[in-house]
Amino acid sequence: MANYTRRSFLEASALVGASSTLFPGVLYAQSQGTDEITVEQIEAAEKIAGISFTPEERQLMLQNLERNRTNFGKLHALKLPNSVIPSFVFDPQIGGVKAARMDAKEPNTWQPSPIERPSSDVDLAFMTVPELSSLLKARKVTSLELTKLYLARLKQYDSVLHAVVSLTEERALRQAKAADAELDAGYWRGPLHGIPWGAKDLLAVKGYLTTWGAKPYKDQSFDYDAEVVRRLDDAGAVLIAKLTLGALAQGDVWFGEKTRNPWNPDQGSSGSSAGPGSAVSAGLVGFAIGSETLGSIVSPSTRNGVTGLRPTFGRVSRVGAMTLSWTMDKLGPMCRSAACCALVFQAIHGADSKDPTTLTTSFTWPSKKSALDLRVGYLLDTFQTEYDNKAADEAVLEELRKSGVVLRSVSLPDMDTGMILFMLSVEASAAFEDLTLSGRANELVSQGAGAWPNSFRSHRFVPAVDYVNASRARTLLMQEMATLFESLDVIVTPTFRGNGLGITNLTGHPSITIPNAFRPVPDSPNPARRQPDSITIIGQLYQDEAVLTVADLIQSRTNHHRQRPPIA
C-alpha cells in the first residue's frame, strides 16, 4: 500500500485523466491501482474544500469513502450519454412567479404587410423575416431563389468568416421546392414559410454531422432532428447550414478555425453562438438559432451587431441539443430585428413531453400590450459612471422617454453570483465526464486555465454539499428577483455592466439584446470597419412578449438594426 504525502496527493489531483487520481468530490480520492484512501489524502482534500476535521473524524470516514469510491466507479462504467437528463429539473417558478400554463399554443395572428421586392440581391439578403415573409407569400420571390442566394453567400464569405461547419444544401433545396409548391397552391404555413435559416451546430439534424464545435465529436451524427429543428420544419422554414460554435459552447474557436466578426474580421465573433451571430450579421441566412448558458446569445449578438432573444428558461425545448448545464441552457433566435425574433420564437416555443422543464404559456405577436402599457425600469447605477457605450445607451433611454414610456430607476439584488455560478461548471463537468476520464479533453483546441479541459478537471473537486447549498442560495436570488418584478415588466440596462447577465441566467429571466452603436475601429486599415455595441432589455419571467415589445419600439425609432457590415 502506497503512503501518499499531501504534496503527491495534490500533484496527482492536478493531472486528472484515465490513469491518474480522480475526484468526483474533494473528499473522494481514487488512488492508482488498488491503493486505499488514506487519512493524509482526506486532510489534503480538506484544504481544497475549505473545511477541517479532527484526526479521529478522518479515520472514521475511511469506510464510507471507500464505499463511495466503489459506487463512483460503477457510475463511471455507465458511460452516460450527453442526452441523458438528471432526475431533477430547474424551475424558475420556485422564486414565486407562476406561469399561466396553457394546453396549446395560441394561433398565429401576424399577417405580412405588402412590400416591393428590392432591386438587388444584396438588399434582398438583408431583409428582415417579416419582409421576406411578405415577399414569399405574395410570390414576389420564391423560397428556391432565397435558398440559392443565401447558399451562394455562405460559400462566398465563409473563407473569411469561418461561420459554417457544414452546409445542408441537399436538404435545403428539397425543402425550398416543397415550400414553393405549397405557397403556389395558396397554402401558407405562417411567417417562416420558405425562409432559409441556420442552426448552431449543437442541434441534431438527421443525415448531417453535429460536431458541437469540438474535435472529439467532429465526426458525430444523430439519427433524429432536434425538437427546435422539427418545429421549424413544420413552420416551413428552410435549414441551409449548421453554423459554428466555440468548442462545447465556449468562445468562438472551434476545431476548424476562429469564427470572425463581419464588422471587423480581424476580431472573433465572440461566443459561443459564434456562427449564428456572424452569419446573421453578414446577411448569409434569414435568421439563426443560438443557445445561451451564460452569455452565448447576448455576447455574439453584441459583437456582431444583431438582435438576440434569450427566452425565459423552459419556454423552448432543448431535446436534441447538446447539454452544457441542465439548469441553465436555453435556445433562442438571433435575427436582424426584435420583430424577427418574435416570429421565430412564436414557432419554436411551447411544451415538449421529452423536456420536463418546458411548458406552454401565452404568447401573441403583435403583443396585445404596447410599450406604453408596460412598467419599465432602468438600472440607474449602471449608467452613471463613464464607459465606452454610455452615450448610445443614454440615447436609447431618451428615445423611450420621447415615445411616452415612463422610466423609473431600480436596482438588481445585491448578491455575489460567483458563489452560485460554479453550478454551471459542475454540471458541464458531469455532462462531459467521459472526455475527462478518457483523456480526450486534451484534443480540444483551447487548453488554458479558463478553458473547458481545466474546468472539467477542477470542478470534480466541488463538494456535493456545496453544490446543493449553491442551489439553495439560487432560490434566494430567485425570490429577490420575484420581489423586484412585482412592480415591473421590463428593465433596461447596459448589456455588460452590473451583474445582470449572471443573475438573469441563474434565475431564468428573458432578455433581448439589440444593437445601438457602431463605433470606428481605432487604427484600422479599413475606415469602414466598426465595433458594434448593444443595450439589453430584461423581462419578468414568461413576459418574453414585453421585452420584444420594448425592443421593437426602440427599433421603430432608430436604424441600428438596419446597418450592414463592410464585408457585405
- Provide the annotated active-site residues: 200, 272, 296
User: How is residue 536 annotated by DSSP?
Assistant: E
The residues, any chain, with a CB within 8 Å of residue 330's CB and separated by 6 or more, are 291, 292, 293, 297, 310, 311, 313, 316, 318, 508
- The percent helix, strand, coil of the chain (3-state, each to 5) is 40, 15, 45
The residues, any chain, with a CB within 8 Å of residue 297's CB and separated by 6 or more, are 273, 290, 291, 308, 309, 310, 330, 332, 334, 513
Burial 508-531 (b: 16+ CB within 10 A, else e): bbbbbbbbbbbeebeeeeeeebbb
As beta bridge partners, residue 101 has: 361
Residue ranges of the alpha helices (H) in 20-142? Answer: 39-49, 55-78, 121-125, 129-137
**Are residues 317 and 358 in contact, defined by beta-carbon separation less than 8 angstroms?**
yes
Among the listed residues 120, 117, 183, 175, the one whose alpha carbon sits nearest the alpha carbon of residue 144: 175
Q: What span, in angstroms and rounded, lies between the C-alpha atoms of 563 and 547?
A: 22
Q: What span, in angstroms and rounded, lies between the C-alpha atoms of 534 and 308?
A: 10
Residue 141, all three cell numbers: 420571390
CA 246 → CA 122, 285, 300, distances in Å?
Answer: 28, 19, 11
- CB neighbours (10 Å) of residue 326? 18
Helix or strand or coil: residue 205? Answer: coil
Where is 460: in which H helix or E strand?
Answer: none
Q: What span, in angstroms and rounded, lies between the C-alpha atoms of 29 and 45?
A: 9
Among the listed residues 295, 359, 412, the one whose alpha carbon sits nearest the alpha carbon of residue 90: 359
